[in-house]
Amino acid sequence: MRPAVVRLVVAAVLFAGWIGFLAYLAVTSSRPVVLSRPQFLVSTYDVIADVGETPGPVTVREVVWPKGAKPANPIEVSTDLSKCKNWHGPGLYILPLVKQDNKTYRVAPIPPSPGYRGETTLEVNAPAGATSIAVVSTAGINAGDWLRIGKGAAIEANMVSTVTNGTTLELSQPLVNAHSSGSPVAWPLRIYPLTPETQRELDDILKIEGLK
């Protein structure tokens, strides 16, 4: 076999191997968890907590903000943490919280910011039992996201099974309540599994804001 042909074969094998390695990384690598800085700017009680079954009490391991605050364990969290973005089962989480009443906390919302609206609205009425909803925009919503649909006593949570197009969402289960056109469809609240990376991100946010 000619040297030029040998070099060509070797180059082709190496190239195929490189493409295969990139494909392996694409399949096995997970998306990094990114903390929302605006969420921590509106939260009033940031903790590292041991979370079990939700909704229910959680055990605070460390109060990150306010400085020097002592945890009054356990604390009651009204938000169903299992329906928040980044939930991966019981374990240690960074929780940005706001006080709901004297004894209860809830996960802080993410305020609207450039590139993040926080919610959309129903484009048409959605009857009870519907398994899909039409919204003004599906931008920023992904399959697997838990959404808060409706307002007042009719608010319910539902998981997106498929983003059909720019205005239609297929739901994982039928709606329990009826919702009128214009009702809010809010993005999921966010919590953050405690890892060395998320701990560093939190430290950076607090330093930038002069809170640490």
What is d(CA 76, CA 59) in angstroms, rounded to the nearest whole number? 9
* pLDDT over 50 (residue 23): no
Indicate the pLDDT class of residue 168, thresholds 50, 70 and 90.
Answer: very high
Rg (CA), the chain: 22
Task: Tell me the one-letter amino acid at 107.
Answer: V
Residue-range definition of the domain harbouring residue 152 = 119-186
Q: Within this chain, do residues 93 and 134 fall inside the same structural domain, yes or no?
A: no
* pLDDT over 50 (residue 92): yes
| Domain assignment of residue 11, yes or no | no
Cβ neighbours of 130 (radius 10 Å): 15
What is d(CA 137, CA 160) in angstroms, rounded to the nearest whole number? 14
- Residue-wise pLDDT for 104-137, tens only, equals 999 998 887 766 667 899 999 999 999 999 999 8
pTM over 0.85: no
Q: Within this chain, do residues 181 and 197 fall inside the same structural domain, yes or no?
A: no
| Domain assignment of residue 22, yes or no | no
| Domain assignment of residue 16, yes or no | no
Question: What's the domain count of the chain?
Answer: 2
Query: Residues 6 or more apart from 69 whose CB is under 8 A from it?
Result: 45, 63
What is d(CA 29, CA 155) in angstroms, rounded to the nearest whole number? 35
Q: Within this chain, do residues 143 and 47 fall inside the same structural domain, yes or no?
A: no
Q: Within this chain, do residues 149 and 204 fall inside the same structural domain, yes or no?
A: no
Query: Residues 6 or more apart from 203 whose CB is under 8 A from it?
Result: 212
